A and B are shown apart, each in its own frame.
Chain A
Amino acid sequence: MPSKIPAQPSGERASWGLKLGAFGAILFLHIPMWLIFLYAFTTDESAYTFPPPGLTLKWIPQAIANTAMQDALFLTIRVAALATAAALVLGTLAAAAVYRHDFFGKEAISFMLILPLALPGIVTGIAMRSAISLMHIPFTFWTIVIGHATFCVVVVYNNVLARFRRSSNSMIEASMDLGANSFQTFWNIVLPNIGTALLAGAILAFSLSFDEVIVTTFTAGNQQTLPIWIFSQMLKPRNRPITNVTAMLVVLITALPILFAQRITAGHSDSEGGSK
Chain B
Amino acid sequence: MLNRLSTYFYLRPRVVLALLLLPPLLWFLVVYIGSLITMLINSFFYLDGFTGKVIHEFTLATYAKLLDPTNLQIFRRTTLMAACVTVACVVIAFPLAYFMARFASPRMRTLLYLAVTLPLWSSYVVRVYSWKLILAQEGIISWFSRLIHIDWLLDLYLKLPGIGGPSLSVSATGIFLVFVYIWLPYMIIPIQTALERVPKSLLEASSDLGASPSQTFRTVLLPLAFPGVIAGSIFTFSLTLGDFIVPQLFGNSSYYIGKAVLVYQGTAGNIPLAAAFTMGPIVIMVVYLLIARRLGAFDAL
- Please tell me which stretch of B93-101, B156-164, B291-299 contacts chain A, meaning at least 4 of its Cβ atoms lie within 8 angstroms of it: B93-101
What is the CA–CA distance of A9 and B262 in the complex, to the nearest angstrom?
Answer: 51
Given A51-B143, A130-B35, A150-B27, answer yes or no on A255-B129 (Cβ-Cβ < 8 Å). no
In B32-49, the 8 Å CB interface with A consists of 32-36, 38-39, 41-42
- Inter-chain contacts of A266 with B (CB < 8 A): 110
Determine if B69 is an interface residue (Cβ-Cβ < 8 Å).
no
User: Would you call B77 an interface residue if the criterion is a C-beta within 8 Å of the partner chain's C-beta atoms?
Assistant: no
Q: Which residue of the partner chain, among B10, B34, B130, B285, contacts A32 with CB atoms under 8 Å?
A: B130
State whether A120 and B242 are in contact (beta carbons under 8 Å apart), knowing that A29-B116, A90-B23, A182-B10 are contacts in the complex: yes
Given A9-B216, A26-B96, does the pair A150, B28 have CB atoms closer than 8 Å?
yes
In the complex, the answer to whether A14 meets B36 with C-beta atoms within 8 Å is no
B181 CB contact (under 8 Å) in A32, A50, A234, A247: A32
Q: Who on chain B is nearest to A134 by CB?
A: B38
Q: Which residues of B have CB within 8 Å of A47?
A: 136, 138
A64 contacts chain B at the CB level, 8 A cutoff = no
- Choose among B17, B20, B140, B248 the residue that contacts A235 (Cβ–Cβ < 8 A): B248
The answer to whether A30 and B34 touch (CB under 8 A), given A7-B208, A36-B129, is no
B114, chain A: closest CB distance, angstroms: 6
B287 is an interface residue with CB less than 8 A from chain A: no
Residue of B nearest to A155 (CB): B121
1/0 per residue B89-123: CB within 8 Å of A?
00011111011101100000010101111110111
* Chain B CB within 8 A of A89 CB: yes
> In the bound complex, what is the Cα–Cα distance between A178 and B165 (angstroms)?
73
Question: Is B2 in the interface zone, CB < 8 Å from A?
Answer: yes
A162, B275: Cα distance in complex, Å: 36
Q: Contacts A50-B139, A133-B42 given; indicate if A214 touches B244 (C-beta within 8 A).
A: yes
**A interface footprint on B3-26 (CB within 8 Å = 1, 0 otherwise):** 101110110010011001101110
A214 to B271, CA, bound (A): 16
The 4 A-B residue pairs with the shortest CB-CB distance in the complex, in nearest-first order: A120-B242, A21-B95, A181-B6, A32-B130
| Of B94, B124, B129, B265, the contact of A126 (CB 8 Å cutoff) | B265
| B contact residues around A68 at 8 Å (CB) | none
Does A122 count as interface, using CB distance less than 8 angstroms? yes
A7 to B130, CA, bound (A): 46
Q: Does A146 contact B (CB under 8 A)?
A: yes
B258-301 contacts to A (CB < 8 Å):
258, 261-262, 265, 271, 274-275, 278, 281-282, 285
What is the total of A-B residue contacts with beta carbons within 8 Å?
278
Given A120-B238, A254-B122: A28 in contact with B20 (beta carbons within 8 A): no
User: Which of A55-63, A92-100, A163-171, A191-199 is found at the contact surface with chain B?
Assistant: A92-100
Q: Does B127 contact A (CB under 8 A)?
A: yes
* In-complex Cβ contact of B213 among A9, A94, A97, A247 (8 A): A9
A115 proximity list for chain B (CB < 8 A): 32
Please name 5 pairs of A and B residues whose Cβ atoms are closer than 8 Å in the assembled complex, sorted by A. A28-B181, A115-B32, A120-B281, A127-B39, A130-B275
A39 contacts across to B, CB distance below 8 A: 133
Query: In the complex, which of the residues B100, B139, B241 contacts A22, with contact meaning CB atoms closer than 8 Å?
Result: B100
- Name the CB-closest residue of B to A262: B114
Cα–Cα distance between A230 and B125 once the two chains are bound (Å):
7
Kindly report which residue of chain A lies nearest to residue B274, judged by CB atoms: A126
Task: Report the Cα distance A32→B35, complex, angstroms.
Answer: 37
Contacts of B206 in A (CB 8 A): 9
- Interface check B66, CB cutoff 8 A: no
Contact with A along B181-220 (1 / 0, CB 8 A): 1001100100000000000000110111000010011000
CB–CB B129/A230 < 8 A: yes
B185 to A, closest residue via Cβ: A29
Contacts of A67 in B (CB 8 A): none
Interface size class of chain A, counting residues whose CB lies under 8 Å from the partner chain: 35 or more
Contact B274 A25 (CB under 8 A): no
The residue on A at minimum CB distance from B216 is A9
| B83 close to chain A: CB less than 8 A | no
Q: How far is the CA of A39 from the CA of B132 in the complex (A)?
A: 11
Q: With A21-B95, A30-B115 known to touch, is A116 a contact of B278 (CB < 8 Å)?
A: no
> Is B122 a contact of A33 with CB atoms below 8 Å?
yes
Q: Is the CB of B2 within 8 A of A93?
A: no
Give the chain B neighbours of A22 by CB distance below 8 A: 95-96, 98-100, 112
Instruction: Kindly provide the distance from the CB of B31 to the nearest chain A CB, expressed in whole angstroms.
Output: 6
Nearest CB of chain A from residue B268's CB, rounded to whole Å = 13
Query: A49 to B139, alpha carbons, bound, how many Å?
Result: 5
A113 adjacent to B20 (CB under 8 Å): no
A174 at the interface (CB under 8 A from B): no
Point out the residues of chain B lying under 8 angstroms from A268, CB to CB: none
The contact of B123 among A51, A123, A211, by CB within 8 Å, is A211
Q: Judging by beta carbons under 8 Å apart, are A30 and B126 in contact? A: no
Q: How far is the CA of A103 from the CA of B278 in the complex (A)?
A: 33
B176 interface residue, CB < 8 Å from A? no
Provide the bound-state CA to CA distance between A133 and B45, in Å. Answer: 12
Task: Check if A48 sits within 8 Å of B138, measured CB to CB.
Answer: yes
Any B CB within 8 A of the CB of A112: yes
Is A204 within 8 A of B121, CB to CB? yes
